[in-house]
Amino acid sequence: MDYGDKLFWLSVVIQRKYAEVCAEFDMTPSQATLLCAVRNEPRRMADLAASLGMTKNALSQLVDRTARRELVVRASSAQDRRVVMLSATPTGKALGEAVYAAVAKRLPEIARDLDADDQRDFERVATAIVDTSDLSSPTSD
């Protein structure tokens, strides 16, 4: 396997671990990601779609499914009534915090079979990749 193959399979390992944690909370990875994205503050739907790499239609469907579980709510922006904001409900905020904490604690398990030096190297490289990636989310109203 070449480097690209290894990165592909690393993404599979990460996604599988993430899905495992989400399932323990009876959530799909997409629902958990959405909930974690709005757990601290309301976000513009258009900004969420861009940040999550989804079409507005796909995000709307995801929001509908998550709203039926009473975990998120839509509202108009106070600054611009045409802008739709998404917020976590109190139940959604608590669940989002729990999922986020579990993911942060358990995702590093993917490196558990590495020796201590390799674990530190993995953390250093993962941190460097994230720090140099454009993960900035647009500011919300």
For every residue of the chain, DSSP letters joined together read --HHHHHHHHHHHHHHHHHHHHHHTT--HHHHHHHHHHSSS-EEHHHHHHHHT--HHHHHHHHHHHHHTTSEEEEE-SS-TTSEEEEE-HHHHHHHHHHHHHHHHHGGGGGTTS-HHHHHHHHHHHHHHHHHS----PPP-
pLDDT in tens, 66-105: 999 999 999 987 788 888 899 999 999 999 999 999 999 9
Q: Determine, yes or no, domain membership for 138.
A: no
The residue segments making up the domain with residue 110 are 3-132
- For the chain, how many structural domains are there in total? 1
User: Which pTM does this prediction carry?
Assistant: 0.83
Handedness of CA 25, 19, 37, 87 (dihedral sign): negative
Whether residue 34 has pLDDT greater than 90: yes
Q: Determine, yes or no, domain membership for 24.
A: yes
Nearest-angstrom CA–CA distance, 45 and 35: 13
Q: Determine, yes or no, domain membership for 77.
A: yes
Joined tokens for residue 14: 């990460």
Whether residue 128 has pLDDT greater than 90: yes
Q: Nearest CA to 25 among 80, 120, 106?
A: 106
Grade residue 141 by pLDDT with cuts at 50, 70 and 90. very low
Nearest-angstrom CA–CA distance, 85 and 77: 6
Residue 123's CATH number: 1.10.10.10
Joined tokens for residue 68: 């039926």
